[in-house]
């Protein structure tokens, strides 16, 4: 998705890349720049597409310092300011239209970088959060562009195309249903359950081939989704968002007959799956 967005904004990203490339070519200029902006410009990441967006973020944060630097004597007194590339870099940094485009790129990419940090982070298993995170990313992108369809539609088309061809998986739907922090905090839990149930059934049939086990899990799922039995207790409801989903399922016996942990096992198996942007 980020690669496609990078292609969509290739011109502004190419202009932005010239800034750190030029600065890092000249040792004295680099030293003066670091002192002036109190830091660095490059934000290296695993993917060069991610690096491009992180560097744009850094440039935007340091916009005022960069503008004052390229009109200061530290920049204009050096031989680099007389070079054609140096003049282009100075013009780019002082160009309001360039910074307007930078903001547009950041509005498009920042929500997806948040999802990327989620799946590559070590704080919690991300499987149960991916679908919810992508929904939030879509909504945030639309909000960033004040819900103007002409502005956000090209970005959402990229997301939909990549999601449909590469990322769409019933595992995400099953994990969404089994993650109480997502299902029960959605705007309409009943609608969310209906939307994701087909994916859950696909996973259930594939992971649990025994029909008797499938029937038991289906029955137990009703207790969970309707907040009945143990799931109606106040402490269990409070802990939906306080505990990791795997810890939440591990903490409570889900069968009212206290015999069959089938749904619990399935939930912990799915929610405990790891996922990463980098194998």
pLDDT digits (tens, 9 = 90+) for 98-134: 999 999 999 999 999 999 888 887 778 889 999 999 9
pLDDT digits (tens, 9 = 90+) for 188-227: 999 999 999 999 999 999 999 999 999 999 999 998 999 9
174 neighbors 263 (Cβ within 8 angstroms): no
**pTM of the predicted protein model:** 0.83
pLDDT digits (tens, 9 = 90+) for 35-74: 999 888 876 666 677 888 888 999 999 999 999 999 999 9
CA distances from 164 to 120, 159, 170, 204, 263 (A): 21, 8, 12, 21, 28
Closest CA relative to residue 65, chosen from 98, 32, 42, 18: 32
Where in the chain are the domains? Answer: 2-120, 122-279
Per-residue pLDDT, 215: 93
262 neighbors 215 (Cβ within 8 angstroms): no
Lookup: tokens for 108: 């498009």
Lookup: tokens for 33: 């720049």
Burial of 3: CB neighbours in 10 Å, binned 0-12, 13-18, 19+: middle
266 neighbors 204 (Cβ within 8 angstroms): yes
Collect all residues with Cβ–Cβ distance below 8 Å to 103 and sequence separation of at least 6. 60
Buried-exposed string 154-173: b where 16+ CB fall within 10 A, e elsewhere? ebbebbeebbeeeeebbbbb
């Amino acid at each position: 998705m980020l690669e496609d967005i990078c292609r969509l904004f290739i011109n502004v990203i190419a202009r932005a890349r010239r800034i750190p490339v030029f600065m890092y070519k000249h040792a004295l200029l680099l030293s003066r720049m670091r002192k002036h902006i109190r830091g660095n410009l490059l934000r290296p990441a695993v993917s060069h597409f991610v690096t491009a967006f992180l560097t744009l973020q850094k440039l935007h944060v340091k916009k005022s310092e960069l503008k004052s630097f390229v009109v200061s004597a530290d920049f204009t007194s050096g031989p680099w300011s007389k070079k054609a590339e140096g003049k282009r870099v100075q013009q780019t940094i002082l160009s309001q239209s360039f910074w307007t485009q930078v903001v547009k790129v950041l509005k498009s990419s920042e929500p997806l970088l948040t999802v990327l940090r989620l799946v590559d982070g070590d704080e919690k298993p991300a499987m149960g959060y991916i679908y919810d995170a992508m929904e939030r990313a879509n909504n945030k992108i639309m909000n960033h562009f004040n819900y103007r369809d002409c502005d956000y539609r090209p970005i959402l088309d990229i997301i939909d195309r990549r999601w449909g061809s590469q990322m769409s998986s019933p595992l995400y739907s099953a994990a969404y249903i089994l993650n109480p922090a997502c299902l029960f905090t959605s705007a309409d839990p009943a609608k969310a359950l209906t939307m994701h149930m087909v994916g859950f059934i696909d996973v259930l049939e594939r992971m649990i081939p025994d029909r008797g086990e499938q029937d038991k899990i289906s029955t137990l799922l009703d207790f969970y989704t309707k907040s009945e039995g143990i799931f109606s207790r106040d402490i269990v409801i409070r802990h939906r968002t306080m505990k990791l989903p795997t810890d939440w399922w591990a903490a409570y016996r889900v069968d009212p007959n206290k015999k069959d942990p089938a749904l619990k096992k399935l939930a912990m198996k799915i929610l405990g799956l790891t996922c990463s942007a980098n194998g």
